[in-house]
Amino acid sequence: MSYAILHLHSWRTWLLLGALIAILLVNREFAVADNGDYTRYNQPYVTHPTDLETNWPEAGTADHAYRFFNQPLFYWHAAKEQGASWFTSATIFWWVGNQLNRLLYSTEVVNLRYIGLPFFLLQAVVLLIAARKIRTGLVGAIATIATTLVFTDGRLSAYYNSFFAEGVPILALLVTFAFLTSRALGEQEQSRRWGTWLGWCSVVLLCLAVLAKRQYLYFCVPATLAAYFLLIGPSARPLRQRLLAFGAIALTVTSLLGLASFALRAGDASEGNAARITSYNALYYGLLPHSTNPADLIAKLGLPPTSVEHVGKPVWRPEALQFVENEASVNVRTFLRAIALEPAAFAKSAFTNAREIGNLDVPLGNVHGQSLGAPPVLVTLPSRLSTWLSGRLFFVVALGLGIVLALWRTALPYQQRLAHQLLALMLLAVLCADLLVSTFDGQQEARKHLLLGSIAAMLLYVQALWTLVAAAQNRQAGRLERRRPWAWGKMYGPSTLENSERLTRLLWAVAVAGALARIATVAFVPLEPISDFKRYFDVAAGFAQNGALAYHQWPFVSQGPTYPLFLGAVFKLFGTGVWQGKIANLILSLATLGLFTRYCAQSNWRPVTRLTLVTAFALHPGLVTYSVVLGTETIAVFLVVCAFALIRIPSRAHWLAAGVVLGVFVLARPQFLPAVALFITIAFLRSPDRRLLVSSCAIALALTMTPWLLRNHALFDRWIPVSASSGYILLANNNSANDQGGWMPLSSVEISPETRQEFTRANRAWLFEEGDENAKVLKWTPDDDALARSEAIRWIVEHPVAFTRLGVQRLRNVFLRSSTTMLYWPLGEVGVPRWLARATNIITTLSYATAILAIVFGWRGFWARQNDWFVLAAGLVVAGLGAIFVFEGQGRYALPMLPAALILCAVTLDWASNKLRTSRTREASSTPAASES
């Protein structure tokens, strides 16, 4: 039987890495708003929100609307003294989170992200352990993916960043599901050996869930089942002994937890008052509206006959609150009597609430700063699907599935079958008990009170999914079919790698180190978009809002459209914000790193060469730090690596895809259009037998760029392939006032009187006056660009020596001062350490110097061997250096062509290694053999 070992090249590893990013970075940005219950629990930790003067603003004021229900408030003033609060087991997690907040954030301000951090950390650890133990194959893959999606659901984990006690039972339910799923789909001996810790963790959490709130007393049932499974279940004792043991465990767990729950809350008068309010809702807003004769039932209960006017109305009205205060018989005991007198009305009340089962769209405000918002789609897929399907039918089907799964005797070993059945039984118990308990508050916030039942129903559907797949595979074989783990991907074709598994692991270990560096950068480096990055942000935000690439109704043509479209799509799906862009960049950067590592691992370069390339790519300071920058660098590097991976395989589908990728890349970085065109031309001319293959790439490239070309022609009546900014850049960097080879504002540029007159005649003279340079760029037109280009070319022709000096200065800025011009943008707010600056200069300069050696000395041989990747890499490096020399020089401009430079480095390193080996072989052969003594 095959099991999941988290190899660095396994799809499961990257799935879990993405899950960790979602749990520890993305989901911690979401919380639930306060509905008034925070005050029950938060007084030992906080006093009031930092942006309000008091904890409970006067009703009807703007502060009151801001404080409650509208959106969560993350930042609170820390409590100086320990205030009184209701008892809840969630205090354990909140206390740990408060200590982490004091250690990592502030002693004066409490950030709820740290209050919830213990929940998130434990959830992440449990997911890693459980996923490791689930078998490979189709059934294991479905279970792993489904479990991961549930664990990364932002609507569920939003309760962790709050003072709602629901966080404990949510975590307990998820951990128990992961534990029993891993036992049901794991090897009996292997999972028994080291999975017990996870089992006892689930038992402890289930016990804490009982003590979280009084209505969660029913969690004694799951706690009993989990404890029985760990203590007795795997043994082969007689049925009678197992039943006696189960009874003893159930009696012990229920009595201890029940007594503890009641004893710890018995003396709390405020909790008693809250129980009377919920009793009113249970009677008048829940059961009585479904009674055949409400007045008669009220009389039998000994309640005032005039209270019939409250039937069907919630408690949050002045007259209802006064009634509850004056009438002592409105309590839980009276409600239980009403159930006994008219059970049909109670059943109808429960069935009314059942319409909310599965609906996880609890209207308490899920996104900070956005009224009644919700976390992004990609981290809420299970809850969104559950909400879409919610209703009484969703509940009835989940109930039926739970019964069938609990009784289904699958063809599994005893322990695995027991885990499977106990899991279904636990979820079924939570589903039914939560529905019944929700009626103890009537219809009041029924959706929130059915939160645990909705999660249990959703998990039952997940269990049913992989159970049905297992049954389909088990139909003829009599047991689950063993399958090999899913392949990483087919895009590379047969591997040319002839290396040891040790080298492969080493390459992926370096890649993981690079991934962790990128994650840490995104998590801890603060950054606000400025300059070009602010323009991308503004245009993308506009695209997300109105679907057009424009700036204040000025069509966007000053830069390529790829990154604004990508960022705009992210904003449209997940909301507009810097963090959304940073997370999207991080995902792109991690995908690029994995793809490049795979590319090197499957190459036929020498092991030292491959290790050098992966190390340089994974740990290059520019590639690491630009994961946080909202610019084209990250997506450009991703597209370049994709292009190299695709052209490696001589199939029409891959070259078609390469044409699309290269087209998107050119639309992001127009200076590389000549290199791409040259690559296609050379590939077409030198290999007549592959012209159809190359033609497909060229057609895909043209079709990718055509929509943008037609859009520009329709707007400006000019054929503009990518952008209309070459004249702007050329003029700003090549004029008599420029003496440092870098960009300068248009207001400082020296232009001829004739050209200034042309701009004045077109009412565009304001471009060369003091003002917002970003606005000038965004409002730059193709006509302006043509005038600026003519002026710059005229200056270059008249001043060739000065132009050459500026070009050399620009190259120096890129390679000898790359730490200043490259790392300034991502690390400007925190400062660039000296060692990091030196490392950046050394790595960048050596990479490109070695690449140039490969181009100069290796061109002829690689032309003869028809290495397409060499031609593309050489073209990208030459075009990039040429653009830097002519236009503008910043260290970040070296990043898009860095993968190409590193691939060319492999040529030089392998050539040097071969020369060294040949020299040693000749020396050894020329040495005379020693004579025997």
On the 0-12 / 13-18 / 19+ scale of CB atoms within 10 A, 864 is exposed
Confidence of residue 726 (pLDDT cuts 50, 70, 90): confident
What percent of the chain clears pLDDT 90, i.e. is strictly above it? 15
Confidence of residue 591 (pLDDT cuts 50, 70, 90): very high
pLDDT digits (tens, 9 = 90+) for 370-409: 555 668 888 888 988 888 888 888 888 999 898 988 887 6
Pairing between strand 75-78 and 46-49? antiparallel
Confidence of residue 126 (pLDDT cuts 50, 70, 90): very high
Mean residue pLDDT of the chain comes to 81
Residue with tokens 């009634």: 323
CB atoms within 10 A of CB 255: 11
H-type alpha helices, 390-487: 392-407, 414-438, 446-449, 451-477
H-type alpha helices, 799-932: 800-815, 818-827, 834-865, 868-886, 898-926
On the 0-12 / 13-18 / 19+ scale of CB atoms within 10 A, 556 is buried
Q: What is the C-alpha separation between 541 and 527, in angstroms, rounded? A: 17
| Model pLDDT, residue 176 | 94
Residue with tokens 């030459």: 878
| Model pLDDT, residue 191 | 43
Confidence of residue 883 (pLDDT cuts 50, 70, 90): confident
Contact 669, 632 (CB under 8 A): yes
Query: For 627-634, what is the mean pLDDT?
Result: 87
Considering only 97-106, 377-386, 405-414, which range has the smallest mean pLDDT?
405-414
What percent of the chain clears pLDDT 70, i.e. is strictly above it? 88
Query: For 679-699, what is the mean pLDDT?
Result: 84
11-20, 451-460, 462-471, 813-822: range with highest mean pLDDT: 451-460
CA 231 to chain centre: 38
Query: For 35-62, what is the mean pLDDT?
Result: 85
Give yes or no for residue 924 having a pLDDT over 60: no
pLDDT digits (tens, 9 = 90+) for 735-772: 888 877 777 888 888 888 888 888 888 888 787 778 77
**Dihedral of CA 741/743/746/748: which sign?**
negative
Angle, in degrees to the nearest 10, between helices 800-815 and 868-886: 120
pLDDT digits (tens, 9 = 90+) for 650-676: 888 888 999 999 999 999 888 888 889
Contact 15, 148 (CB under 8 A): yes
The answer for 549, left when phi > 0, alpha when psi is -120 to 50, beta otherwise, is beta
Contact 800, 734 (CB under 8 A): no
Query: For 841-868, what is the mean pLDDT?
Result: 75
Confidence of residue 234 (pLDDT cuts 50, 70, 90): low
| Model pLDDT, residue 495 | 35
| Model pLDDT, residue 273 | 72
| Model pLDDT, residue 918 | 64
Structure tokens at 636: 């450009």
| Model pLDDT, residue 118 | 94
Give yes or no for residue 603 having a pLDDT over 70: yes
Give yes or no for residue 486 having a pLDDT over 60: no
| Model pLDDT, residue 931 | 36
Contact 823, 840 (CB under 8 A): yes
Confidence of residue 114 (pLDDT cuts 50, 70, 90): very high
Q: What is each CA distance from 669 to 317, 568, 723, 896, in whole angstroms?
A: 63, 18, 9, 8
| Model pLDDT, residue 490 | 30
pLDDT digits (tens, 9 = 90+) for 314-369: 887 888 888 888 888 888 888 888 888 888 888 888 888 888 888 888 766 665 55
Query: For 803-808, what is the mean pLDDT?
Result: 88
Contact 187, 135 (CB under 8 A): yes
Nearest to 284 by CA among 326, 338, 328, 333: 338
| Model pLDDT, residue 360 | 84
pLDDT digits (tens, 9 = 90+) for 140-188: 888 899 999 999 998 899 999 988 889 999 999 999 999 999 888 876 5
In single-letter form, the type of residue at position 570 comes to: V
Confidence of residue 96 (pLDDT cuts 50, 70, 90): very high
CA atoms within 13 A on the CB side of 212: 26
Q: What is the C-alpha separation between 149 and 161, in angstroms, rounded? A: 19
| Model pLDDT, residue 593 | 92
Q: What is each CA distance from 639 to 29, 228, 378, 702, 906, in whole angstroms?
A: 29, 54, 22, 17, 20
Confidence of residue 272 (pLDDT cuts 50, 70, 90): low
Nearest to 399 by CA among 437, 329, 363, 453: 453
Q: What is the C-alpha separation between 186 and 190, in angstroms, rounded? A: 8
Greater model confidence, 516 or 448 = 516
In this structure, the dihedral spanned by the alpha carbons of residues 806, 807, 809 and 813, taken in order and rounded to 10 degrees, is 130
Residue with tokens 């029924």: 446
Contact 673, 633 (CB under 8 A): no
What does the radius of gyration of the chain's CA atoms come to, in whole angstroms? 34
| Model pLDDT, residue 206 | 92
Q: What is the C-alpha separation between 125 and 886, in angstroms, rounded? A: 52
CB atoms within 10 A of CB 479: 13
Residue 259 has phi, psi (to 5 degrees) of -65, -40
Structure tokens at 544: 């997300």
